[in-house]
Amino acid sequence: MARYQVAHIDEIERLPAFGEQSVWRPVRHHLGITAFGVNAYTADGPGQRVVEEHDELGDSGAGGHQELYVVLSGRAAFTVDDDQFEAGPGTLVFLGDPGVTRGAVALEPDTTVLAIGGERGKPYAVSAWEYAFRGLAKGGHEGAEIFAEGIARYPERASLQYNLACMHALDGDRDAAIAALGHAIDINREARDWARDDDDLACLRGIDGFDALLRET
């Protein structure tokens, strides 16, 4: 491992974020950080998301993290539960309560927010959502390998199997998509409801194997 590394935010690859026009920059993966979670998000234009609306208590792999957001450039409108405020470069927003709902939207072009997180009192582990983000963004064989790594670490996370199904469906691999969706439903039957109206799975509709999975048993 190198004694130190230096990187500019614009050197880190741009991957899709939040299913919108926003950009995820996988800082932790790029630098090989294993002690804490850190990533950045960029909105190229006003109105795009730079922090997904979420809390840290769900099945997404959030892991109950405390989070610190640092506005690196541009300006963002944050919402924290019922509070709203604007934040410019150099502003730090700390969320100590994992149950608080948070999110932010860019107010200016090229708004970038750095996000740092970890679960209080526990060793850091790469979050399940990070495997899903990278796997979906890469797709194909590389994406499947990323998901396999994530599922090996988090075999109980239905969200990983479900997102793997979405990736395979978007890549046109219907059999693999149905198999992954079946695994997701075995882990969490709510995955059946997630799949009913998900456009990512549109190519599976009308296929016997898919329709059978959606039937209540």
93-121 per-position pLDDT tens digit: 999 999 999 999 999 999 999 999 999 99
83 neighbors 181 (Cβ within 8 angstroms): no
Give the residue among 13, 51, 15, 18 at the shortest CA–CA distance from 30.
13
pLDDT at 215 over 80: yes
Question: Looking at the domain assignment, is residue 156 inside a domain?
Answer: yes
Higher confidence at residue 20 or residue 64?
Answer: 64
| 76 and 135 inside one domain | no
Residue found under tokens 């239905």: 158
Helix (H, G, I), strand (E, B) or coil at 84: strand
Domain range for 45: 9-118
Question: Looking at the domain assignment, is residue 102 inside a domain?
Answer: yes
pLDDT in tens, 114-146: 999 999 999 998 989 899 999 999 999 999 999
User: How far is 177 from 162, CA to CA, in rounded Å?
Assistant: 9
User: How far is 132 from 11, CA to CA, in rounded Å?
Assistant: 22
| 114 and 132 inside one domain | no
Residue 170 sits in a domain whose CATH number is 1.25.40
| 110 and 20 inside one domain | yes
Question: Looking at the domain assignment, is residue 87 inside a domain?
Answer: yes
Residue 24 sits in a domain whose CATH number is 2.60.120.10
Tokens, residue 135 = 């796997």
Please give the tally of structural domains in the chain.
Answer: 2
| 57 and 101 inside one domain | yes
Of 96, 118, 140, the domain-final residue? 118
Question: Looking at the domain assignment, is residue 123 inside a domain?
Answer: no
| 134 and 183 inside one domain | yes
